[in-house]
Amino acid sequence: MTGPTPTKPAPLSGIRVFDMTRVLAGPTCTQILGDLGAEIIKIERPGRGDDSRGLGPPYLKDTEGKDSRESAYFLAANRNKRSLTLNLTSPEGQSIARRLIADSDVVVENFRAGTLARYGLGAEDMCKANPRLIYCSVTGFGQTGPYASRGGYDYLVQAMGGIMSVTGEPDGPPTKVGVGVSDIITGMYAAISIQAALRHRDATNEGQHIDMALLDAQVSWLSYVGENYLVSNEVPERLGSHHPNIVPYQVFEAQDGLMVLAVGNDAQFKRFCTFAGIAEIAEDERFTTNGGRVTNRETITSILADIIKTKPINHWVDGLIGVNVPCSPINTIDQVFANPQVEAREMKIEMEHPLASNGKVDLIGSPIKLSASPVSYRHPPPMLGQHTDEILTKLLGLSEEQLKKLHDDGLIS
Amino acid sequence: MDEKGPLDGITVVDLTRILAGPYCTMVLADLGARVIKVEEPVKGDDARHIGPFIKGKSAYFMSLNRDKESIALDLKNTEDKAVFEKLLGRADVLVENFRPSTMEKLGYGWERLHADYPRLIFASASGFGQTGPYKDRAAYDMVVQAMGGIMSLTGHPDTPPTRVGTSVGDITAGLFTTIAINAALFQRHSTGIGAKIDVAMLDCQIAILENAIARHVASGETPQPLGARHPSITPFDAFHAADGYLVIAAGNDRLFEALGLALGRADLVTNDLFTSNDLRTTHAPALKDEIEMTLGEKKVSHWLELFTAKGIPCGPINTINEALADPQIQARNMVVESKDTAAGTVRMAGNPIKIEGMPDPTRRNPAPDLDQDGKKIKNEL
C-alpha cells in the first residue's frame, strides 16, 4: 500500500500548539496532534533540553558510528515538532512565552501543579488573556486531590494504578508492562480532550482548561479487570497470559516454541477442535460454551496443551488462520518490523535526520489512517533549539541583534 | 462553559461490539455525544454474554456502554434497513468494528455512504485494518499483543512472554479511533465533508512500542523483557523492602542524589559506578542490590512516607482493590456508578477527561437493555 492520495491537508492544519511538555506523556499527545497536521512549537530548556534527550543508551549513531546526542527515547515521541529553547524561569523568557501563547490555539504542559502559575504562565492567566485558548495540563495525579503536588512517573502509576498487580505469572512478582503504557495512554486521552475542546470552541468560541492525570487514565483502562472487582469484590490476580473471562485464550507451547491461541467464541472453539483432530472435545458438554470452559479451565487447558505441543508453530498458525481461528506467534521486536502486515500498513517510516549515519532515521508510523486528509510526516525529531531563531524571527519579528542578546544572556541557546 | 460536554450536539450511530469499538463510543459519550447503539435483534452485542454477571446482566457489557441508547435492527431486513438509513441521515459519525468487507456486503460501503451522506464520518476499527495481507483475519486482543511485540517486552528475563493484564490492544485501538473521529469532526467544521477512518489494533500496538524500534535500530539488539525495570532510566524499578515491594523512580541525577541521602547511603551518590544515568543503567543490577540491602531494613510504608516527604517519586504496587480505594482516585471521581434496572447499583471506572466546567457526575445513566430505546428513536425519525 502506498497510502491514500491526500486530497486535503491533515485535519488539524492551521492549529498552533505551544508545547511545554517533556519526557513521554505530553510529547506523545503533541506528536499525535502534529501527525494530524497541527504546528507544534516545542519549548526546551536552553543547554539541556527535554530530559528524554539524555535517556539513553541507545542513542542514534552518527556518520562515524558514534553515539549522537539524540536518544532513541526522544526520537520516539518528537517528530513533526520544531524546537525552541527558552528559559522559562526568567521574566524575559516568560514574556516571550506569553507573546507566543497569545498567538497559539493550544497550550500543553506537564509541569507539577502550580509551577507555571508562579511563572505567570498558568491556565488561569493564559485563558483570561486569550479566552479562545485551550490549555491542557498533563500531570501524574491531576490538579486536585491529595496527591496533586506530587511528581508522577509512568512507572509509579503502573504500580499505584493496579496494572502491575494483574500483569505477570501467577507465582511470579508483579510485572511492569514493557513500554511506558500509562504515559502513552494518557497522551492519547489528552489528544482526544484537546480535539473535543477544539470542536467546542468552533461551536461556542470558548476555550478551556483540561486537567489530565496519568492515574485517572490508568484507572479507566483497567477496563473490565477493574469492573470484575467492582461487581464481585474479588481482587483480580495475575493470570500470566490467561484471560480472566475467556478460555482458551493464552500462551501455549508448540513443538518449537510459544504461541498464542485466542478463541473468542464457541464456533471458533469447534473449528479449532476439528482442525486439531479432537472434534469430540467440542461436543463434550463441559466445554461447548465459554462459560463451561472458564469453569473447567484446568481440564480443558491441559487437554489442549497436550495436543498443541505435538506440532510446530507454523502448523498451528497457518492451519488455524485458514479456518478463522485467531492465533499468532509471539513476535520479538525485530520480527514485528519484518511482519508483512506491519509493512503494508506503513507502521515503520523513514525520515531524514542530519545526525544519522546514513542520513535517515526509522520511526514508528501513526496508526490513524484517514482517507482524504491523512496524517503527514513533515519534520524529523528536532535537534535542541534547531528552530529557535526561525520561530522567534517569523512569529515575533525579533531582529538579529535581539536574538544575539537573548543568546548572550543565556535565555535561548 | 455550560453544563454540557464538548461533543454536545454530535450524534454517533454505533454498530460496534465487544471492547475496542464500544470503548471508543464510551469516550465519545463521556464527552457529550449522543450514542445510539445499533444491535443485532435477540442476541445483541456479544459482550452482553461475557461474564461476570449480576442478576443476569454482564458487568463487562455494563462497564463499556453507560450513557448509550440501544435500538435493535436487523441490517439484512428491508424495513430495518430503512430505519437505519434514516438514522444515518441524522448522524454525524458512524462507527463499526466488523471485519473488513462486512459493511460492503450489507450495502453500506464507503462509496455509497459518502455519496448519500457526504457529511458523515465513517470510522472502522478492526484487527488488522482495511488493507494488507491480513485484512480478512479475525483478531483478538491477545493475538495483536503477541504479534505486535508488547508481550515480548513484558515479563521477567526468566519467564515466558507475558500478556498485559488488561486488553490494551483493544483499548488503544478504541482511543486512536476516538482521536481520529475528533480530528475529522474538527476538519468537517471548515470543509463540510466527512471522512473515512481506518484504525487497526495491530497498528496501534506498533504505535505504542515507544522507543523499542529505535532501540532495535540503534543497537541492533532485540529488546527483551526487563521485569519491572525501565530499559533506559535507572533506578526505575520495583524493589523489595522488609514486607513487600515498592516502586522507586528516580528519573534524574538530582533525584538519585536525594534517594541516596534518604537511604542514608551517600556512598552510592559518590560511587564512580553510579554518577550518571548511563552508568547507573549499565550497572543496574549492582545498584539494585545496594539499594535493596538498605530497603530491607524497614517496611514499605516507612520508605514511602520518607521518600514522598523528600519528593522522590515512589509508590506502592497496588492490587486492583487498593488502587480503586486510593484517596487520590476517590478525590478524582474515578469510580462512578449507575443504577441498572435489574442489576442495581453498578460501580465502574469514571471518565479521566476532566475539563473545567464539564459535568463529571458520579451517577451515570446505565448501559441500555437491548432495544431499550428502539421505539423512542423510531418515533423521532
| Nearest CA distance, B91 vs chain A (angstrom) | 16
Interface contact A6, partner B, CB < 8 A: no
Interface contact A126, partner B, CB < 8 A: no
**Is the pLDDT score of B188 beyond 90?**
yes
- pLDDT confidence of residue A3: 46
Residue A348: phi and psi, rounded to 5, are -115, 125
Q: Is residue B32 part of a domain?
A: yes
- Residue finishing a domain among B285, B302, B322: B322
pLDDT digits (tens, 9 = 90+) for B43-59: 999 899 887 888 888 88
Interface contact A355, partner B, CB < 8 A: no
Q: For chain A, positions 278-297, list CB contacts with chain B under 8 A.
A: 290-291, 294
Cell of A298: 484446568
Which residues of B are designated catalytic?
A: 230
DSSP codes of every residue in B357-375: TS---SEEPPPPPTTTTHH
pLDDT digits (tens, 9 = 90+) for B19-34: 999 999 999 999 999 9
Measured between alpha carbons, how far is residue B191 from residues A8, A198, A372, B74, B188 in Å? Answer: 9, 15, 12, 33, 5
Measured between alpha carbons, how far is residue A198 from residues A185, A202, A409, B176, B314 in Å? Answer: 20, 6, 37, 17, 35
> How many CB atoms neighbour CB A326 within 10 A?
24
- H/E segment holding residue B293: helix B284-295
Pairing outcome for strands B236-241 and B244-249: antiparallel
Q: Is residue B214 part of a domain?
A: no
pLDDT-derived band at A406 (thresholds 50, 70, 90) equals: very high
CATH number at residue B39: 3.40.50.10540
Do the chains contact at A202 and B179, CB–CB below 8 Å? Answer: no
pLDDT digits (tens, 9 = 90+) for B9-21: 999 999 999 999 9
Residue of B373 and B229 predicted with greater confidence: B373
Do the chains contact at A334 and B199, CB–CB below 8 Å? Answer: no
Interface contact A173, partner B, CB < 8 A: yes
Q: Which domain holds residue B65?
A: 11-208+330-380
Q: Which of B50, B218, B311 sits opposite A60 (nearest CB)?
A: B218
Classify residue A25 as exposed, middle or buried by CB count within 10 Å of its CB (0-12, 13-18, 19+).
buried
- Reference A263, options A310, A178, A179, A323; nearest CA is A323
Prediction pTM value: 0.89
Distance between CA A340 and CA A319 in Å, rounded?
18
* Cβ pairs bridging A and B (under 8 Å): 546
Q: Is residue B221 part of a domain?
A: no
| Nearest CA distance, B19 vs chain A (angstrom) | 9
Do the chains contact at A189 and B175, CB–CB below 8 Å? Answer: yes
Q: For chain A, positions 27-46, list CB contacts with chain B under 8 A.
A: 32, 36
- Reference A266, options B154, B259, B46; nearest CA is B46
Q: Which of A224, A335, A337 sits opposite B63 (nearest CB)?
A: A224
Residue B38: phi and psi, rounded to 5, are -100, 120
| Category of A307 on φ-ψ map: left (φ > 0), alpha (ψ -120 to 50) or beta | alpha
Interface contact A321, partner B, CB < 8 A: yes
Which residues of A are designated catalytic?
A: 183
Distance between CA A161 and CA B164 in Å, rounded?
14
| Nearest CA distance, A205 vs chain B (angstrom) | 10
pLDDT digits (tens, 9 = 90+) for B349-368: 888 888 877 788 899 888 89
Cell of B222: 532485540
Domain range list for chain A: 16-221+340-408, 249-332
Do the chains contact at B313 and A151, CB–CB below 8 Å? Answer: yes
pLDDT digits (tens, 9 = 90+) for B57-86: 888 899 899 999 999 999 999 999 999 999
**Is the pLDDT score of B227 beyond 80?**
no
- Are B46 and B179 contained in the same domain? yes
Q: What's the whole-number average pLDDT of chain B?
A: 90
Residue of A nearest to B308 (CA): A150
- Are B253 and B370 contained in the same domain? no
pLDDT-derived band at B232 (thresholds 50, 70, 90) equals: confident
Among A70, A79, A192, A355, which would you mutate to test the B interface (most chain B Cβ atoms within 10 Å of its Cβ)? A192
As for the ipTM of the complex, it is: 0.88
Q: Which CATH superfamily is domain A16-221+340-408 in?
A: Crotonobetainyl-coa:carnitine coa-transferase; domain 1 (3.40.50.10540)
- Are B335 and B263 contained in the same domain? no
Do the chains contact at A176 and B329, CB–CB below 8 Å? Answer: no
- Reference B322, options A145, A322, A219; nearest CA is A219
Chain B residues within 8 A of A223 when measuring between CB atoms: 19, 23, 63-64, 166-167, 171, 349
Do the chains contact at A166 and B252, CB–CB below 8 Å? Answer: no
- Reference A219, options A155, A152, A160; nearest CA is A160
- pLDDT confidence of residue A70: 86
Identity of the highest mean pLDDT range in B116-120, B232-236, B243-247, B251-255? B116-120
- Give the three-state DSSP class for A139: strand
- Are B96 and B132 contained in the same domain? yes
* pLDDT (average), residues A70-80: 90
Residue of B nearest to A167 (CA): B165
DSSP codes of every residue in B129-174: -SSSTTTTS---HHHHHHHTSHHHHSS-TTS-----SS-HHHHHHH
CATH number at residue B245: 3.30.1540.10
| Nearest CA distance, B236 vs chain A (angstrom) | 8
- pLDDT confidence of residue B342: 83
Question: In b/e form, how buried is each residue of A272-297, taking b as 16+ CB within 10 angstroms?
Answer: bbebbebeebbeeeebeebebbbeee
- Residue finishing a domain among B306, B322, B338: B322
pLDDT digits (tens, 9 = 90+) for A323-379: 989 999 998 888 888 888 989 999 889 999 888 888 888 888 899 888 878 888 999
Q: Which CATH superfamily is domain A249-332 in?
A: formyl-coa transferase, domain 3 (3.30.1540.10)
Chain A residues within 8 A of B156 when measuring between CB atoms: 168, 172-173, 175
Q: Looking at this protein, which amino acid is placed at residue B57?
A: K
Q: Are the CB atoms for A367 and A341 separated by under 8 Å?
A: no
Contacts of B95 (CB under 8 A, 6+ apart): B12, B13, B14, B15, B16, B21, B24, B25, B123, B124, B125, B177, B181
Do the chains contact at A57 and B219, CB–CB below 8 Å? Answer: yes
| Nearest CA distance, B378 vs chain A (angstrom) | 28
What percent of chain B has pLDDT above 70? 97
- Are B361 and B313 contained in the same domain? no
Do the chains contact at A175 and B228, CB–CB below 8 Å? Answer: yes
- Are B37 and B158 contained in the same domain? yes
Pairing outcome for strands A134-139 and A208-213: parallel
- Are B196 and B291 contained in the same domain? no
| Nearest CA distance, B312 vs chain A (angstrom) | 8
Number of domains comprising chain B: 2
- pLDDT confidence of residue A7: 62
Chain B residues within 8 A of A211 when measuring between CB atoms: 354-356
- Are B191 and B292 contained in the same domain? no
- pLDDT confidence of residue B72: 95
| Nearest CA distance, A352 vs chain B (angstrom) | 14
- Are B311 and B344 contained in the same domain? no
Interface contact A149, partner B, CB < 8 A: no
- Residue finishing a domain among B280, B297, B322: B322
Q: Is residue B216 part of a domain?
A: no
Chain B residues within 8 A of A243 when measuring between CB atoms: 142, 163
* pLDDT (average), residues A59-86: 89
